[in-house]
Amino acid sequence: MSVTIDKNLCKGCALCVTACSKNVFEIGTEVNQKGFSVSVAARAGDCVQCGVCEKTCPDLAIRVE
Ligand code: SF4
Ligand code: SF4
């Protein structure tokens, strides 16, 4: 099981940070090609595969497998 974020699709809106009930995501220090600070699955081990983040991300940047 893994939670991956396509850094170059992410716009740093933080909707995933708010949406995840397990507090998996945080906005990190890395800046992508578009100049956005991107989300990081900092606590991917806490993921329960609910799928909410994939549905929430407006840019389809998150994949849970
Ligand atoms: S919801 Fe999507 S675009 Fe917004 S911070 Fe999370 S991964 Fe990035
Ligand atoms: S699938 Fe659910 S628990 Fe896992 S990171 Fe996404 S919102 Fe959080």
Q: Calculate the average pLDDT of the chain.
A: 97
Helices (H), 1-65: 15-19, 52-56
Mean pLDDT (whole number) for 7-23: 98
* The predicted structure's pLDDT at residue 24: 98
| pLDDT tens-digit map of 43-59 | 999 999 999 999 999 99
Whether 42 shows a pLDDT value over 90: the answer reads: yes
Q: Which ligand is nearest to the CA of 44?
A: 2
Q: What is the residue with the minimal CA distance to atom 8 of ligand 2?
A: 20
Mutate which of 6, 13, 23, 26 to test ligand 1's pocket (most atoms within 8 Å of Cβ)? 13
Given a contact cutoff of 8 angstroms between Cβ atoms, the answer to whether 9 and 60 are in contact is yes
Q: Place 1 in a pLDDT band, splitting at 50, 70 and 90.
A: confident
12 lines ligand 1 (CB under 6 A): yes
The model's pTM is 0.95
Domains of the chain and CATH, by start:
3-64 (3.30.70.20)
SS3 content of the chain, % helix, strand, coil (to 5): 20, 30, 50
40 lines ligand 1 (CB under 6 A): no
